[in-house]
Structure 1
Amino acid sequence: MEKPSADTSTRAAFVITSHADIPLLRRLVDRLLAGSPDVRVYISHDIAGEPGVEDLAGPRCTVIREVGGRGDFTQIERIVSLFRLVEADGGADYVTVLSGMDYPARPISDFLDALPSAGDGYLHNFPALDPQGSDWAMHEARQRYLYRWWILWPLSAASRRRWHWLHGVNYVQPFFRVNISYGTFRLAALRGRLPNGMTVHGGSAWFTISRRAVRHVLATVDSRPDILRWARTSLAVDEVFFQSILLSAGTFDFIDSNARYIDFESDGFGHPKVLTDEDLERIDASDAYFIRKVDRARSATLLDKLDERVTGREADDR
């Protein structure tokens, strides 16, 4: 078992959105809880996902089932629901957002020891609509957040490949946009304006934020229906929602990092690579606390090596 962080009083919550692979999820939960008695885990599992997640529930692990989705507001709703559960349990000094395909790269105790020096947490961020400062191409950022999107009908994988050419219309006129990248056919029209007082900040959908940042997010969700309307009709809003609310406030101090190792280089479609033991040297060089993403079969050797570092022995058969 991982040695708990020495003399730490940091209360940490890990909120996880998951869909499948309950054994991998159990392994992740075990690693998180072993890091400190002050750790709590909260899981939102997709209603349409793999069964059996309720078996993970316990005194320090809460499990709920919610509607999942990709590229829309459902991911935000799930994280907000988990934030509310954390607060209902008395809150945590820091809350970390993970998926069921993430895994610790280092002992959780190391992460907990670093948090008191992290200000309001680890939040990768940049001005999404600023041509000079954005990490994204402007045409991509503008069509995601300056247009109002409607979902028209679902698409199969074959249909998405067949109709991908439709994205070409987005480059020849400014009035409407089409998108088939998230399993549905979507159509958008140019918006009038953004919510008052809000600037759009992008960044990683995976982050760690302080309790006062969590409370600010919840207060904003409860008091700004205009921001919710904008978010519900945007694309890939999980990559801007929390950053936009928190950075627009101008009162928080974040480390501009998601504290994770993610490899997008090997995939031409914007999806993270499934990591293996061949990535271990690069993971170590990154000093990341977590990695994304892993698979129980393809990442098995990597996971065993990471666990062996923490336990000091070879990993048990899983």
Structure 2
Amino acid sequence: MSKGPIAVIVLSHRDSEQVTRLIHRITEGTNSFAVIHHDPSGEPLSIPPSSQVAVIPDPIPCKWGRLSLVQAQWKTLQWVARNVPEFSWALLVSGQDYPIRKMSAIEQELAGSPYDAYLRYFRVGPDPAEDVIPWQALTRRRYLYKRRVPFSRRSVTLPFKRRHPYRNGVELYVGDMWFNLSAPTVAAVLDARQMSERMLSYLRFAPIPDETFIASMTLNVHPAPNVAHDSKRYIKWGRRQLHPQIITAEHLPDLRASDAFFARKIDRLAHPEIPDLLDRLAEERTASSG
């Protein structure tokens, strides 16, 4: 595996102070740098200049559940591959994520990793009998039988099957949008232009395209990468929640037991103590592993 720097891509839209603190933690690593895609329609972002921080030019306004989030992912991956050819890994986080391990420990694990990618994913095949979780049935309807109403949050069921790109050996996968991809995997995904163009066109009116695009691209390239079924994110979901729980002190025991790289997600304004608690947790884990 390449020993080049790790690019941590940050998709942000609010709370400049929280994003600045996240960037500081990322750049504490000996071989990491931050790539910021800040939503121009969000709150203004003010970060100090640094040789370890790059701000993506001409960022894309992003809306939750829309193709714009996928386009922002794609734009930043292309930027990293074009401008930092020696990078070793690309990790995607949001401005509300926060490391629960020291970046030096994350760098060390990725440098010695036998995997080409870390993703949380599930295959959505044509046979419902193969499903192991309800999410697969939901996403089968979402990506094969539904269409988002333009300029609306609604999606409607179609009376016929949509002609989709998941055919001729291309499988449908769903998972978290938060990825960890090695440089060779990024190159393979970016080189699969015909597949990416078909998926981007098809997902234009999909209900939530960000939960399938990177997973489907990564798991369909050839030769097949060695993908760990783990996004390396601590995410806690409640029943029938559209968004993850906000991290509080109550999550510390689970965070301490987790081998995740980042916790998702924090709100500094609602819980101002959390960044300090997570910094101490990272220090504790470094001391105990040493």
Identity in percent: 27
Q: Which residue of 2 is the match for residue 262 of structure 1?
A: 235
Q: Tell me the TM-score normalized by structure 1.
A: 0.79
Count of aligned pairs: 273
State the alpha-carbon separation in 1 of the partners of residues 155 and 194 from structure 2: 28
SS in 2 for 1:43: strand
Does residue 117 of the first structure (1) align with residue 110 of the second (2)? no
Q: Which protein is bigger by CA-based radius of gyration?
A: 1
State the alpha-carbon separation in 1 of the partners of residues 173 and 196 from structure 2: 17
Q: Which runs of 5+ in 1 are unaligned?
A: 1-7, 155-183, 313-318
State the alpha-carbon separation in 1 of the partners of residues 81 and 132 from structure 2: 33
Q: Which residue of 1 is the match for residue 133 of structure 2?
A: 135
Q: Which residue of 2 is the match for residue 95 of structure 1?
A: 90
AA of the residue aligned to 1:261:
Y
State the alpha-carbon separation in 2 of the partners of residues 216 and 48 from structure 1: 32
Q: 1:110 to 1:133 in 2, by over 3 A?
A: farther
SS in 2 for 1:249: coil
Does residue 185 of the first structure (1) align with residue 181 of the second (2)? no
Q: Are the equivalent residues in 1 in contact too, given 2:100–2:282 (CA < 8 A)?
A: no
SS in 1 for 2:206: coil
Q: 1:191 to 1:228 in 2, by over 3 A?
A: farther
**1:204 Cα deviation from its structure 2 partner:** 1.3
Q: Which runs of 5+ in 2 are unaligned?
A: 285-290
Q: Are the equivalent residues in 1 in contact too, given 2:249–2:274 (CA < 8 A)?
A: yes
State the alpha-carbon separation in 1 of the partners of residues 131 and 258 from structure 2: 23
SS in 1 for 2:105: helix
Superposed, 1:1-318 pairs within 5 Å as 9-36=3-30, 38-53=31-46, 55-64=47-56, 65-91=59-85, 92-115=87-110, 116-129=112-125, 131=128, 132-147=130-145, 149-154=147-152, 184-189=153-158, 190-195=160-165, 196=167, 197-221=169-193, 224-249=196-221, 251-265=224-238, 267-310=239-282
**Which stretch shows the higher mean deviation, 91-100 or 116-125?**
116-125
**1:89 Cα deviation from its structure 2 partner:** 2.0
Q: 1:223 to 1:57 in 2, by over 3 A?
A: farther
Q: Tell me the TM-score normalized by structure 2.
A: 0.86
SS in 2 for 1:152: coil
Q: What are the superposed Cα offsets for residues 22-74 of structure 1, whole Å, 9 maximum, x if unpaired?
A: 100000000000111x2121111111100134x34532211133211111211
Q: What are the superposed Cα offsets for residues 184-210 of structure 1, whole Å, 9 maximum, x if unpaired?
A: 234453434331431111111112011
AA of the residue aligned to 2:277:
K
Q: Are the equivalent residues in 1 in contact too, given 2:195–2:217 (CA < 8 A)?
A: no
**Which stretch shows the higher mean deviation, 101-110 or 61-70?**
61-70
State the alpha-carbon separation in 1 of the partners of residues 215 and 145 from structure 2: 19
State the alpha-carbon separation in 2 of the partners of residues 246 and 198 from structure 1: 11
RMSD, aligned α-carbons: 2.2
**1:137 Cα deviation from its structure 2 partner:** 3.8
State the alpha-carbon separation in 1 of the partners of residues 149 and 216 from structure 2: 23
**1:227 Cα deviation from its structure 2 partner:** 2.1
State the alpha-carbon separation in 2 of the partners of residues 138 and 255 from structure 1: 19
State the alpha-carbon separation in 2 of the partners of residues 120 and 139 from structure 1: 28
AA of the residue aligned to 1:61:
V
Q: 1:236 to 1:135 in 2, by over 3 A?
A: farther
Q: Are the equivalent residues in 1 in contact too, given 2:102–2:283 (CA < 8 A)?
A: no
**1:107 Cα deviation from its structure 2 partner:** 0.7
**1:143 Cα deviation from its structure 2 partner:** 2.2
SS in 2 for 1:296: coil
